[in-house]
């Protein structure tokens, strides 16, 4: 899912998707049995949504965000 999220063109949506994926894995790291199956099914559905969104994002790209174009001042 993280690999698929990186295909999203818009910075804000891409970072949101990455945060959601990480949070979802942390939330269900101790799941087992039927809870694990439910989480897996939900994850597969979300992956399909993310794939469709990435295709839309690449078809209609937006301007680069300031976060993407500004040099790192760290």
- 42 is a domain residue: yes
Count helices and strands in the chain by DSSP H and E runs = 4, 0
pLDDT value at residue 59: 85
- 59 is a domain residue: no
Q: Write out the residue range of the structural domain in which residue 32 sits.
A: 2-54
- 74 is a domain residue: no
What is the crossing angle of helices 11-27 and 34-59, to 10°?
A: 170
- 62 is a domain residue: no
pLDDT value at residue 51: 93
- 61 is a domain residue: no
The count of structural domains within the chain is 1
Q: What is the pTM of this model?
A: 0.71
Question: Which distant-in-sequence residues (6+ apart) come within 8 Å of 25 by Cβ?
Answer: none
Per-residue pLDDT of the chain (74 residues; tens, 9 = 90+): 888 888 888 888 889 999 999 999 999 888 899 999 999 999 999 999 999 999 988 888 777 777 777 666 65
């Amino acid at each position: 899912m993280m690999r698929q999220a990186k295909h999203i063109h818009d910075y804000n949506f891409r970072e949101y998707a990455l945060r959601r994926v990480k949070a979802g894995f942390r939330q269900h790291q101790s799941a087992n049995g039927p809870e694990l199956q439910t989480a897996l099914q939900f994850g597969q559905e979300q992956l399909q949504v993310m794939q469709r969104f990435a295709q839309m994002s690449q078809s209609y790209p937006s301007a680069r965000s300031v976060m993407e174009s500004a040099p790192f001042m760290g």
